[in-house]
Amino acid sequence: MRRTRVCRRPLWLAVSFSRSIVSAVARHAPIITAFAFAVVVLGACGPDPGGASPSAGVTVSAPPTGREIFAANCAVCHGAEGEGQPNWQIAKDDGTLPAPPLNGDGHTWHHADGLLYRIVSQGGTQFESPRDRGFKSAMPAFGDRLSHDEIIAVLTHVKNLWGDKIRMGFSIRESQALLSERDPFPPGGE
């Protein structure tokens, strides 16, 4: 007798489950119909009979990342990982200083965001002074090649190169963030 009950119970559950599905489908028939209609309509928006889609030949890509901008514009002087040039603190024969490290081993973190932005945008020659003949910069201006957002992206990448480095007992990220409170990145478009 137990055997009969065991066999009937799964059949009863299957019939009950099937009825529930049929009932649910019937209740949601308008939604299912609308979905099927949308699939058909959107399918009609596919390629034209000539075989070319409306966006053929158009490639949509994401804007470059700070790392990509750095690799394309900065790494040639500052190194792929921001390691800078050897002897970066000793002037070359022409009086310019080699590119400093940007990975936290140099002095980049001593500067606020606004100053770093101006250096990248306007170049290093803006800091040369007739009174200080010991400083001559080879840093080119990138303001005509990079947008406001691209300059900020590349500087954000540079700050990421610093990691969690500590100098004189202080986090260089935190020290630079404090400096940047008084001289932040400029608003867009400047």
Percent of the chain that is helix, strand, coil (3-state, to 5): 50, 5, 45
**Residue (of 129, 147, 124) closest to 78 by Cα position:** 124
The domain in which residue 31 lies consists of 2-39
Whether 46 is covered by a domain: the verdict is no
Q: Are residues 161 and 70 in the same domain?
A: yes
Q: What is the pTM of this model?
A: 0.66
Q: Are residues 12 and 83 in the same domain?
A: no
Q: Are residues 18 and 77 in the same domain?
A: no
Q: Are residues 18 and 72 in the same domain?
A: no
Q: Are residues 35 and 72 in the same domain?
A: no
DSSP 139-181: PPP-TTTS-HHHHHHHHHHHHHHTTT-EETTEEHHHHHHHHHH
Tell me: the pLDDT tens digits for 102-112? 999 999 999 99
Tell me: the pLDDT tens digits for 41-99? 445 445 545 555 555 566 778 889 999 999 999 999 999 999 999 999 998 998 898 99
